[in-house]
Amino acid sequence: GVLRVATFDAKTAGGAAAAVREMAAEGAEAWVVDLRGNGGGLVRAAQQIAGLFLPEGTPLVEVTSARQPSPALIPTLAPPCAAPSPATCASCPAGDVSSVPGGAASSDFDQEGADASGMIAGRGKVAVVLDGGSASASEFLATALRDYRGGAIVGQPSRGKALIQGLFPLEGSPRGGLVVTTARVASAKTHQGWQGQGLRPDFPVQWLPPAG
């Protein structure tokens, strides 16, 4: 089964869960997660998509910051319910749009509202496709799948954004804001970061078709 993830927003994980459930029901035995051109978004969405392939609680990545100098783990979350609306599934909370606050302790990355169904694509080989437009939460997901599922990274080096940033409004400027780096990210298994370097593919491909 091929799962194309173009961004990580409030609806991404639910859509991915529905697509993976459908492909699993149709007999998919291996998985390709296509993250080409995905520059990131809500970390929680990446946590939940990781939960399609990894047991809940498996580390996604580790973060360090001035507030949290000792590495804290961002865990994989159980995938959300694929019901069409929260009203049809008691496990799906409305407005699940929280992102990860930079520098928070691991206990702050709570699993409130996570569905108890667990991973859907727990069997079969996994490959992740990256290119130079894959960054941030895409790299977090790719790292976890390589570290804890043996997923091969195929394609081109990613952009190399191993940071968590926060947007802080400026007083007196309703449209202005200050983007501040609040935490650095690394593999929870190897403790290696990739800021400015990108994730190197296990199987490099010089040319990739445009992401669709």
* Cut 0.85: pTM above it: no
User: Which DSSP letter does residue 70 get?
Assistant: S
Of the pLDDT bands very low, low, confident and very high (cuts 50, 70, 90), residue 198 is very high
- Of the two residues 112 and 120, the one the predictor is more confident about is 120
**Is the CB of residue 75 less than 8 Å from the CB of residue 57?**
yes
* 66 phi, psi to nearest 5 deg: -60, -35
- Please say if the pLDDT value at position 175 is more than 90: no
Helices 43-50 and 12-25: crossing angle in degrees, nearest 10, is 20
Average pLDDT over residues 73-102: 53
What is the structure's pLDDT at 107? Answer: 28
